[in-house]
Every structure is written in structure tokens, then in C-alpha cells.
Structure 1
Amino acid sequence: MEIAIVLGLVVLFFAAAVAVVAFEDRRAAHRKALQRAARLARLGEVDPLAPQRLRTDR
């Protein structure tokens, strides 16, 4: 019985760690994209990757 509780807590801890890492990774990618867009805007250039990110409504 105790081993099941310990294993459950380990799995819960691992799942929480994975969620935090995934969240931080998405935040870092978003921050990097914003910095890239700002840098290109300062240079007066168009983002060549922007058309790929556009999505049409279906």
C-alpha cells in the first residue's frame, strides 16, 4: 500500500515537472518570436516567416 502511494507521488511530481518545463519552453519561444519581430520592425524589414504562420478560417 505504501509503495503505491510513493509511486503515485513520484508520478505526480514527474508530471508537474514536465508541465512546468513545457510551459517555460512555450514562454521562451513566444518571447523569442516577439524579440525577433521587434528587431525586424526596427530594421524596417518584413518577417519572411509571417506568411507561414497565417491561418485561414475554415
Structure 2
Amino acid sequence: MQLSLILGLVALIFVVATVLVIAEDRRAARRAAQRRQARLADLGEVDPLAARKLKLDR
């Protein structure tokens, strides 16, 4: 009983840590994209990756 409780607690900690790491990674990617767009806007250029973000209505 105690072993299963400890293993469950360890598994829960791993799940929470994984969620936090994924959330931070997505936030860092979003910040990097914003910095890239700001640099390109300062240069007066268009983001070359913006075309991939367009969604076409079908």
C-alpha cells in the first residue's frame, strides 16, 4: 500500500514537471517569435514564416 502511494506521488510529480516544462517551452517560443517579428518590423521587412501561419478557407 505504501509503495503504491509513493509510486503514485512520484508519477504525479513527473506529470506536473512535464506540464511545466512544456508550458515554459511554448512561452519561450512565443517570445522568440515576437522578438523576431519586432526585429523584422524595425528593418521594414515581412516575416518569411508568416505565410505558413495563414489559414485558407475551403
* TM-score tier after normalising by the smaller chain length: over 0.9
SS at 2:45 equivalent: coil
Aligned residue identity for 2:24: E
Aligned to 2:8: 8
Q: Aligned pair count?
A: 58
Q: Given the two structures, how large is their TM-score scaled by the length of structure 2?
A: 0.94
d(CA) in 2 for partners of 1:41 and 1:11?
Answer: 45
4+ long deviations beyond 6 Å: none
Give runs of aligned pairs for residues 1-58 of structure 1, distance below 5 A.
Answer: 1-58=1-58
Residue identity opposite 1:20 in structure 2: L
Which blocks of at least 5 consecutive residues in structure 1 are unaligned?
none
Alpha-carbon distance, 1:57 to partner = 3.7
- Secondary structure of the residue that 1:5 maps to in structure 2? helix
How big is the alpha-carbon RMSD for the aligned residues of Structure 1 and Structure 2? 0.9
Report percent identity of matched pairs: 57
List alignment gaps of at least 5 residues for structure 2.
Answer: none
